[in-house]
Structure 1
């Protein structure tokens, strides 16, 4: 009996058969592709980091330049450009976009998931079809809308128009994402809460939203990052350097010969990543704790 038991343990010691020659070749090719992919990502970032702190870099980035640690490119950003203004503009646009997107998407995602109303499928299909149209294709419509609204409200700026464009695009795409997430939440929680006397709004506020907090966190992060990454719309709609976002403003350091400074552009790129990284780290806890704390509160 003891021998049989030992044989069984040896037999099931590993449930994976030994690799064949083709399997080893496949693993080797996979690792080569992964290393090439990592190199393609890390190498430009490394060059940008080195160039930002290299005092011997002048107007253009020279790959073979000797390294001398310096922060003069950062000083150039803060003293010779409108970098702080661009940061302020981007934070206002990104923060407002994220807040408006969260407020609207939390309602639309819940409504499409839990309610059946006339025109529901048609409106969902319309939202889906709108997503297939490139944002830049509507640039003429954006200018027309801005002209109409600014004639009625003189204080309506191009930055406000940009916020509405970012928010509208984020609402359309994230409504589907949040709807799918709430669909996975059992409706028995809703029924139990209603039996206890909760209204529809309290079900939304006390049950659904805490459970959907991880997805809302992701939506907020995506909505906040969008204005930092977008160059095209900001460059077209914003006409003065004082109103530029970071992407549009920093791009003048590599396209305009009057302000050409590629190392300063690299320094600005590094600084641009700072608020995004901080926000991501701050919201990581919500991604983990939102699932459990939301269900307990419900």
Structure 2
């Protein structure tokens, strides 16, 4: 009887001890998570090893670090900076990514607020159109992009294909993220808006002082998605950009895999490693907004 009471005292919370079936499921979950982590970490490890392996030739050889098969070297990075247009590709990609993120955030923040807080004619029809636009892949409209670029460039000769790429990325991001941000704003009580309007705030002040601080975490996520897109996309730049001086990182690095003259697979691994640097920096910069934005918004509201 005393032993039974001691066992009862061990579980004072509502959480019940695991049964045999629960322990088996927990074990399987850990096995799946470890396996999934291995699938992700192993290629990354091979990429890092190959990028700094001076004994790798033009072709990538996946192996373990062993005596005689590895020599720490920066020669693949030197090849990137001296034998390719890597810095130009980085500059092009950063310009496209920053412009895409800025345009997307600027427009989506207003369209999301308008669809969430206002009722106007054609609201449901336009929301349905936004949902339908998301189902059409951007690559499917490549003919229309060429025609549109020809029309605009005939009127404005300074309009480049890189600008066209920014408009394509921004247009797709606005359509997708407006619907997401609207749903996020719908979860914010309209009583905050009413209280602010009683105090004399206009719709713009409500948006700036009440809504914006609360939706800052979602805006940070949208900015991150919009920034990453140009770094990861290959198809659209491959079709639209024909001059090597205009290539993005994905398109430029791919030439190290399929071009006989510039073939250097370890340099491709080194370039892929460096490509992750601006994305990691942006994620670290926005992480504070993701954590503290909601709390700051709720205090102001």
2:113 equivalent among 110, 114, 117: 110
Match of 1:137 in 2: 140
Cα distance in 2 for partners of 1:228, 1:99 equals 15
Match of 2:238 in 1: 235
- TM-score normalised by structure 2 residue count: 0.93
Cα distance in 2 for partners of 1:13, 1:186 equals 33
Offset at 1:296? 2.5
1:297 equivalent among 289, 297, 300: 300
Q: Which consecutive unaligned segments of at least 5 residues does structure 2 have?
A: none
Offset at 1:10? 5.4
Secondary structure of the residue that 2:157 maps to in structure 1? coil
Cα distance in 2 for partners of 1:98, 1:190 equals 28
- TM-score normalised by structure 1 residue count: 0.94
Match of 1:44 in 2: 43
Cα distance in 1 for partners of 2:16, 2:6 equals 19
Residue range with higher mean Cα deviation, 23-32 or 203-212 = 23-32
Secondary structure of the residue that 1:60 maps to in structure 2? coil
Secondary structure of the residue that 1:212 maps to in structure 2? helix
Structure 1 7/130 Cα, relative in aligned 2: closer, same or farther at 3 Å? closer
1:122 equivalent among 125, 133, 140: 125
Q: Does 1:179 align with 2:182?
A: yes
Cα distance in 2 for partners of 1:13, 1:285 equals 33
1:199 equivalent among 190, 197, 202: 202
**RMSD, aligned α-carbons:** 2.0
Structure 1 73/197 Cα, relative in aligned 2: closer, same or farther at 3 Å? same
Q: Does 1:59 align with 2:62?
A: no
Deviation track 1:136-159 (CA, whole Å, cap 9, x = no partner) reads 111111111101111111111000
Deviation track 1:9-60 (CA, whole Å, cap 9, x = no partner) reads 357577424422x444433333322222111111110000000000000100
Q: Does 1:72 align with 2:71?
A: no
Offset at 1:7? 8.0
Offset at 1:292? 1.6
Offset at 1:242? 0.4
Offset at 1:207? 1.0
Count of residues in correspondence between the two structures: 296
Structure 1 290/75 Cα, relative in aligned 2: closer, same or farther at 3 Å? same
Cα distance in 1 for partners of 2:247, 2:258 equals 15
Q: Which consecutive unaligned segments of at least 5 residues does structure 1 have?
A: none
Deviation track 1:169-193 (CA, whole Å, cap 9, x = no partner) reads 0001100111011111111111111
Show the 5 A alignment for 1:153-164.
153-164=156-167
Structure 1 11/235 Cα, relative in aligned 2: closer, same or farther at 3 Å? closer
Structure 1 295/50 Cα, relative in aligned 2: closer, same or farther at 3 Å? same
Secondary structure of the residue that 1:16 maps to in structure 2? coil
Match of 2:282 in 1: 279
